[in-house]
Amino acid sequence: MHFGQHCVLAVSLRSAVIGFDREDDARRVLAVLPKRFAKYSLSLHPTKTRLVAFGQPRKGPTGSEAREESSFDFLGFTHYWGRSRKGRWVIKRKTASKRLNRSIKAMGQWLREQLHTPMREQWKTLKAKLQGHYGYYGITGNADALEQYETSVKRLWHKWLNRRSRQRGSMTWERFGKLLSEHLPLPPPRVVHSIYNAKS
Q: What is the pLDDT of residues 85-97, one digit of tens each?
A: 888 888 899 999 9
Stretch (H or E) spanning 135? helix 119-137
Residues 6+ apart with CB under 8 A from 192: 134, 135, 138, 139
Instruction: Report pLDDT for 5.
Output: 37
SS3 category, 170: coil
The pLDDT tens digits of the residues spanning 45-81 come to: 777 788 888 878 776 655 555 555 578 888 999 999 8
Instruction: Report pLDDT for 66.
Output: 53
Instruction: Report pLDDT for 3.
Output: 40
Q: How far is CA 182 from CA 48, 104, 140, 148, 164, in A?
A: 47, 25, 30, 22, 21
Q: What average pLDDT does the chain have?
A: 84
Instruction: Report pLDDT for 176.
Output: 95
